[in-house]
Amino acid sequence: MATKRDFLSLDDLPEVEFRALLARAIELKDMRSRGEVCQPLLGQTLAMIFEKASTRTRVSFEVGMFELGGHAVYLAGQGSQIGRGEPIADTARVLSGYCSGILIRTFGQERLEELAKWATVPVLNGLTDMFHPCQILADLQTVLELRGTIDGLRYCWIGDGNNMAHSWIKAAAILGLDLALACPDGYKPNESVVLAAQSRMRDSGRGSLKIVDEPAEAVSTSDVISTDVWASMGQEDEAAARRKAFAHYCLDSSLLMQANSGAHVLHCLPAHRGEEITAEVLEGEQSAVFRQAQNRLHAQKAVLEAFLGANV
Ligand code: CP
Ligand code: NVA
């Protein structure tokens, strides 16, 4: 059996493979639309542990496994022994005997890393407090479809310096993209993520990272604008304080007008209309949000092929 390969953050995808995976996601989408069957994961099973809620991630991976010829088993924190405190190291060793891979959505990145340390099958990050790498693949697939390239564009992020922002920063460093983020004080992205990206950009001589306070400054001359909820899962108690801190970080039509003409709006969903984004922008002509959400299926199938397929 080949050495197992985990997908814990975008750092696990070298640039060439990252780009190939985006192209493969589009290819899988085209094949599906032609009714072509592609089942490289026949007989394989993915365990999917969710310690937080999910609609898109759960369904795209479960349908993805089915369409690739495999099967998925869903385990909620509550309702399995995980929620009753069974150590993740024990769960990892047990599931490794039944399944070909384990997807987990959890809180700290260290919990994902602990699972990966003990599992003998590939472990996939279905979102942690720190990163959401699978989402970024669907986001960039969407840009590639709409613009024909992901290069030479200006990307921006408005709002919380959260798991999605961190994943955009990693993607920019790996792919050499120009990214500006506008986040309020106290909610800027993690410093170690920023420093690592800046160092990689310096070494490669490609990509740029700008972190500013004002949304208008980040949006100005952008081609792709992303935002996300102000209070992520696990931060529900902070929602009121965050609503105050983020009050002028709403992506509305006057902010959007400051971007390049034809700029695309992305949001990983779920969205809070009237908070981080207005209904007008979310439902407007420049929004690619539902294409982006639907692309999760194709991007996640490409992830499954890349990380589980190698283990066949
Ligand atoms: N964007 C995303 O991960 O959605 P879910 O929380 O529904 O999985
Ligand atoms: N930042 C959000 C993303 C949800 C897909 C969260 O972690 O809740």
Identify whether the C-beta of residue 198 lies closer than 8 Å to the C-beta of residue 191.
no
Nearest ligand 2 atom, CA 164: 1
Output the residue whose Cα is nearest ligand 1's atom 1.
Answer: 268
Residue 205: is its pLDDT beyond 50? yes
Task: Report the separation in Å between the CA atom of 40 and the middle of ligand 2, taken as the mean of its atom positions.
Answer: 30
pLDDT at 309: 85
Query: How far apart (Å, rounded) are the C-alpha atoms in residues 141 and 144?
Result: 5
Task: Report the separation in Å between the CA atom of 15 and the middle of ligand 1, taken as the mean of its atom positions.
Answer: 25
Asked whether this chain's domains 10-132+296-311 and 135-292 adopt the same fold, the reply is yes
Question: Which single residue is written with the structure tokens 């009753």?
Answer: 84
Output the residue whose Cα is nearest ligand 2's atom 2.
Answer: 232
SS3 73: strand
Read off the pLDDT band of 2 (50, 70, 90). low
Topology of 135-292 in CATH?
Answer: Rossmann fold (3.40.50)
- Output the CA torsion sign for 49, 129, 167, 53: positive
pTM, rounded to two decimals: 0.97
Long-range contact pairs involving 148-151 (C-beta distance under 8 Å, separation at least 24) = 150/22, 150/175, 150/177, 151/175, 151/176, 151/177
Task: Report the separation in Å between the CA atom of 56 and the middle of ligand 1, taken as the mean of its atom positions.
Answer: 5
What are the residue ranges spanned by the domains of the chain? 10-132+296-311, 135-292
Taking residues 219-239, what's their average pLDDT?
Answer: 97
Identify whether the C-beta of residue 276 lies closer than 8 Å to the C-beta of residue 246.
yes
Mention the CATH class of domain 10-132+296-311. alpha beta
Residues with active-site annotation: 105, 132, 135, 228, 268, 296
Read off the pLDDT band of 3 (50, 70, 90). confident
Task: Report the separation in Å between the CA atom of 242 and the middle of ligand 1, taken as the mean of its atom positions.
Answer: 20
Residue 254: is its pLDDT beyond 60? yes
Question: Using one digit for the tens of pLDDT, what is the confidence trace for 101-123?
Answer: 999 999 999 999 999 999 999 99
For the chain, percent helix, then strand, then coil, each to nearest 5? 45, 15, 35
Identify whether the C-beta of residue 206 lies closer than 8 Å to the C-beta of residue 176.
yes
Question: Using one digit for the tens of pLDDT, what is the confidence trace for 26-63?
Answer: 999 999 999 999 999 999 999 999 999 999 999 999 99
Q: How far apart are the first and last CA of the chain?
A: 8
Identify whether the C-beta of residue 8 lies closer than 8 Å to the C-beta of residue 123.
yes
Question: Using one digit for the tens of pLDDT, what is the confidence trace for 171-201?
Answer: 999 999 999 999 999 999 999 999 999 999 9
SS3 124: strand
Which amino acid is residue 10, in one-letter code? L
Task: Please give the mean pLDDT across all residues of the chain.
Answer: 97
Identify whether the C-beta of residue 239 lies closer than 8 Å to the C-beta of residue 231.
yes
Helix (H) or strand (E) holding 233: none
Q: Is the CB of 194 under 6 A from ligand 2?
A: no
Secondary structure, 3-state, 136-192: HHHHHHHHHHHHCCCCCCEEEEECCCCHHHHHHHHHHHHHCCEEEEECCCCCCCCHH
Residue 67: is its pLDDT beyond 90? yes
For 59, residues 6+ apart whose C-beta sits below 8 A from its C-beta are: none
Q: What percent of the chain has pLDDT over 70?
A: 98
pLDDT at 312: 40
Nearest ligand 2 atom, CA 52: 8
